[in-house]
Amino acid sequence: MENALTIEDFYKNKLSWMPDNLKREMGHFNVFNINVCACSKNRPIPYSRKDYYKISLLKGRNLIHYADRTVQSDKYALLFANPMIPYNWESLEDEQSGYFCIFTEDFFNQFGSLKDYPMFKPGNSKVYILSDEQLTEFEAIYQKMFEEINSDFLYKYDVLRGLVFNLLHSALKMQSVEAAYYPVSNASTRIASLFAELLERQFPIESQVQRMKLRSPVDFAGHLSVHVNHLNRSLKEVTGKTTSQLIAERVSQEARALLKHTNWNISEIAFSLGFEELSHFINFFKKNFKETPKTYRDRLDV
């Protein structure tokens, strides 16, 4: 039986055609039909955090997971993914359809930072549920992308950048799915957003000398100039989770990513994640995943 192409290999192949000097100048962009990945109910897109941004138009019934949230889409959804947040989606139907475009931050360098857009900021909405009319609007943008990328027009990448901005701005005019789920006060929302940004700024951990500096609710409350109880109430109101739970979930995500994608020893990973003792990290990991870090890493290598 022929080995299936992994999603990582698929993206690597699609983004490796350009010479390095040209990559640095213009960045990457490409657009695809979802069915080229052979996605189905039995083969969900895996949890991933990559080096590019991705905007997916999903058609059909799906469960969309990102960070610590899950959203169900019964018809159509627009998913915004960035390199900082692990995400995946799984079809609840036998076959999946839709489109996605992928691009690096460099592709937009001369136009400002993508990180300034709400859907790419930590703690903000990543999923937008679409009506039939909105599907038609967004589908037309993707069809235009296919036309442009296959054309010989000298300035087609400028047009493609404009089409990505069209996706962003059209989505911003909509109410996100989470706005309906969390009808909270502006003050609580603001505190929750600032907390999420502080937490996310510490990731990804990219070297053994890098270390999380904010690890406890008291640390975050101090940086936000609020009482720790007030921070906890605000986060509970907005997310339904405590400050400690949110910190632990994000540290857990990074721990698994480092165990999977680096060859650092477990002591180095524990240090980077702010644990004073290796035993504290092992106990933390066992509490959250019911296995030790070593067992988890060994299981991945099988």
Domains, the chain, in order of start with CATH, read 7-180 (2.60.120.280), 182-300 (1.10.10.60)
Residue closest to 174 by CA, chosen among 127, 121, 123: 127
Strand-pair partners of 56: 79, 100
Of 293 and 107, more confident: 293
Q: At what angle do helices 243-261 and 228-239 cross, to 10 degrees?
A: 70
Contact of 246 with 239, CB cutoff 8 Å: yes
Q: What is the pLDDT, as a whole number, of residue 198?
A: 87
Cα–Cα distance for residue pair 80/127, rounded to 1 Å: 6
> pLDDT band at 204, cuts 50/70/90?
confident
Cα–Cα distance for residue pair 157/145, rounded to 1 Å: 10
Burial profile 97-114: b = 16 or more Cβ within 10 angstroms, e = fewer: ebbbbbbbbebbeeeeeb
pTM of structure:
0.54
Which tokens is 73 given? 């889409």
Q: What is the pLDDT, as a whole number, of residue 122?
A: 63
Kindly state the average pLDDT of the residues 182-196: 71
Say whether pLDDT at 4 is over 70. Answer: no
Kindly state the average pLDDT of the residues 119-138: 84
Q: What is the pLDDT, as a whole number, of residue 175?
A: 58
Q: What is the pLDDT, as a whole number, of residue 218?
A: 94
The per-residue pLDDT of the chain, averaged, comes to 80
Distances in Å between the alpha carbon of 247 and those of 195, 202, 215, 250, 262?
A: 10, 11, 7, 5, 22
Q: How many CB atoms lie within 10 A of CB 40?
A: 14
Of 93-107, 128-142, 179-193, 199-213, minimum mean pLDDT range: 179-193
Say whether pLDDT at 15 is over 50. Answer: no
CA angle 91, 95, 100 (to 5 degrees): 70
Q: What is the pLDDT, as a whole number, of residue 245?
A: 94
Cα–Cα distance for residue pair 126/135, rounded to 1 Å: 17
Instruction: Estimate to the nearest angstrom the gap between the alpha carbon of 217 and the chain centroid.
Output: 24
Distances in Å between the alpha carbon of 111 and those of 44, 116, 158?
A: 34, 11, 11
Distances in Å between the alpha carbon of 72 and those of 69, 80, 96?
A: 10, 15, 15
pLDDT tens per residue, range 138-184: 999 999 999 999 999 988 988 999 999 999 999 988 755 444 444 44
Q: What is the pLDDT, as a whole number, of residue 172?
A: 87
Of 182-191, 238-247, 256-265, 285-294, minimum mean pLDDT range: 182-191
Q: Which amino acid is at 254?
A: E
> pLDDT band at 285, cuts 50/70/90?
very high
Q: Phi and psi dihedrals of 30, rounded to 5?
A: -160, 160
